[in-house]
Amino acid sequence: MSDSNNSSGDDSLKKIENTLSNFSSVLEKFGLDLITKMGKNTLRLNMLTDKIEELHKSVIDIKGLLPQLNTMIESHKYLQSEIELLKTLVQRKNSSGPSKSLESESVGRDETISEQKNSFTTSFLVLRDKLDENKDAKDIRETLEIIKEDIFEATGGHRILYELAQMIKVLNAVETITPEIKQDLEDKIGFWINKL
């Protein structure tokens, strides 16, 4: 009986060892799979982190280009206004009849130009005085619009017309004249008078 107990004990022990061996293999395989998957996830995470850093650098580069882009847009607008001015001048030149004589035309033109310049200068100086007395953006804007229309009618196009239109847009957006807008407008009035 002791042999049969011994052999059954040995069989039980072998079964337990086999079970433990199988369990240990499964556990080892599970651990290796877990480590492999964690490694893959870490690699993916590192790749995503690198891509996010590259994207961040690209966004910073793009933000750095915005001032240059704005400058290009403003230059483009300025060139468009100059082209429109040239078109207007060419159309006026083509639509006007032949001149009687170059000397009489140049003398007449010089006097007219001087009178117009003096008139526009006076209008700008009156506007500057209004700035000191009046804080209402609507009143200043209306005066600026009248000056703009007068310059356009007299010249058919002038390079300060675009700048006048830009200032009118600024004044459309506010109700009262701030000290910054007043200073900017005063500076531009001097600049416009010199450009006439």
Per-residue pLDDT of 33-44, as tens digits, reads 999 999 999 999
d(CA 192, CA 141): 16
Q: What is the pLDDT of residues 99-151, one digit of tens each?
A: 444 444 444 445 677 787 888 888 888 888 888 887 788 888 888 888 888 88
pTM of the model: 0.43
